[in-house]
Amino acid sequence: MKYLFAIIFLLAASTGGYAAGSSLTYEIDGKPYEGYFVSPSPKAPLILLIHDWDGLTGYEMKRADMLAEMGYAVFAADLFGAGVRPKEVKDKRQHTGELYKDRNKMRSLMQGALDMAKTKGANINQTVAMGYCFGGAAVLELARA
């Protein structure tokens, strides 16, 4: 029986292989934003992950954890602002529309997210950005910056 517990303990300790992610708040131009950072190691290449028009939700955090299991550091960034998680289509259109109309602001938010990842110790010299729908457009703006 002791051996069974030892095996279960070792298996549980060996899974995951990465640090638990953590939610955080950061500021860009005096406005608070929320993010989620997870990293398996300080030298891990970074993925900057951008949400769709729902804002940063548990979906992006789950994906960040999955990518961390594959060996990547991940910063899931917020482009709408702390606590802004639109539920109605009209609200989603409003928040995404504001950034589609102001591409400089969108680029600034993307750069601010990258800067925040750097302060968390992310290896920004090896970075890939990815996004879902609206987040994909934000990634294109980062590439244009």
pLDDT digits (tens, 9 = 90+) for 76-125: 999 999 999 999 999 999 999 999 999 999 999 999 999 999 999 999 99
Is residue 1's pLDDT more than 80?
no
Residue 50 and residue 136: Cα distance in Å, rounded?
Answer: 7
134-144 and 103-119 helices, crossing angle to 10°: 90
Model pLDDT, residue 103: 97
Q: Write out the H or E segment, with its range, that includes residue 126.
A: strand 123-131
Residue 120 and residue 76: Cα distance in Å, rounded?
Answer: 12
Q: What is the pLDDT of residues 22-68, one digit of tens each?
A: 999 999 999 999 999 999 998 999 999 999 999 999 999 999 999 99
Q: Write out the H or E segment, with its range, that includes residue 107.
A: helix 103-119
- DSSP letter, residue 30: T
Q: What is the pLDDT of residues 63-85, one digit of tens each?
A: 999 999 999 999 999 999 999 99
- DSSP letter, residue 88: S
Q: Which residue has the higher pLDDT, 16 or 66?
A: 66
Residue 125 and residue 123: Cα distance in Å, rounded?
Answer: 5
What architecture is the 19-144 domain classified under in CATH? 3-Layer(aba) Sandwich (3.40)
Residue 98 and residue 104: Cα distance in Å, rounded?
Answer: 11
Residue 24 and residue 13: Cα distance in Å, rounded?
Answer: 26
Q: How far from 91 is each of 19, 50, 80, 100, 118, CA to CA, in Å?
A: 35, 18, 11, 14, 31
Model pLDDT, residue 83: 96
Is residue 20's pLDDT more than 80?
yes
Which residues does 5 contact at the CB level (< 8 Å), separation at least 6?
none
Model pLDDT, residue 18: 60
This prediction has a pTM of 0.86
Model pLDDT, residue 19: 73
Residue 130 and residue 128: Cα distance in Å, rounded?
Answer: 7
Is residue 9's pLDDT more than 50?
no
Model pLDDT, residue 2: 54
